[in-house]
Amino acid sequence: MAVADRPGARSVPVVPVASGHSIPVLGLGTSHQGGYSHTAVVHALQKCGIRHIDTAKRYGCESLLQRAIRESAVKREDLWITTKLWHSDCGYESTKKACLESCERLGVEYLGLCKSIGVSNFLISHLEQLKEDCVITPHVNQVEYHPFQRPQELVDYCRRRDIVFEGYCPLAKGEALTHPTIIQLAKKYGRTPAQICIRWSIQNGIVTIPKSTKVERIEENCKVFDFTIAEDDVEILNGMHDGRHVSWDPSFIVFLILI
């Protein structure tokens, strides 16, 4: 894991991607639920050293992010921006058109069109199907990941195939913040439950993208690189996996690959 040198901002470690680029291990998530805060995004970029933003066409905030990125004055080449297309955009020409439209809304020339490509919510069965139908292996797989949902078999599968595993919902949509074990560990380390969850995820080698629209929460979520959770405590958190989904369960989804 390398550290990106960004004068004037906190340094966030990065990990290499098979495309030849590097992705920051901590990013800022956005979504179609829970609102959007221009101030929070600008603060994350200007004050917290965040250089990784996750969004999607479906979230409806790509144009809003363009304004925030412009106001932050962070250079495009210093940013890792992820957006996701909708299933209706399948097919080469439709996908290319949708990607160009996302670039226009975000105010960027590339995401890449396309520097790195990935998938979201793909389980082993879906990745195996993709392997049969496509030539290029995804560079990233973005999947729900938190103490209650730790799909280690999938993580191991991705690592063997040089696919970066990226975890969303690291706080289990708040459910993890009230768990007695996590609260106890937070007290032990003098941290917040959110910081324990995020640090645990990063220590497990997961690119982690917590979401918040509150400046103070973003500040809190970013202060996770000046402490380490002991291995025995990591194992305690690892043992909390119960298969719970707080987003949605893609287990029974069949993906149709059109090429």
pLDDT category at 1 given cuts 50, 70, 90 is very low
pLDDT recorded at residue 133:
84
pLDDT of 7 above 80 = no
Q: How large is the average pLDDT for residues 118-143? A: 93
Assess contact for 51 and 74: CB atoms under 8 A.
yes
**Crossing angle of helices 193-203 and 215-222, rounded to 10°:** 40
Any idea which residue has 């969004």 for tokens? 55
Question: What is the residue whose two structure tokens read 């690119």?
Answer: 207
CATH classification of 17-242 is 3.20.20.100, yes or no? yes
What are the phi and psi torsion angles at 256 (to 5°)? -95, 120
Q: Is 59 a catalytic residue?
A: yes
**Element spanning 102, H or E:** helix 92-106
Kindly tell me if the per-residue pLDDT of 5 is higher than 60: no
pLDDT for 111 equals: 87
Give residue limits of the domains in the chain: 17-242
Distance CA 220, CA 40 (A): 12
Task: Answer yes or no: are the C-beta atoms of 244 and 148 closer than 8 Å.
Answer: yes
The pTM of this model reads: 0.92
For the chain, what is the total number of helices (H) and then of strands (E)?
9, 10
Instruction: Given the residues 36, 59, 157, 189, select the one marked as catalytic.
Output: 59
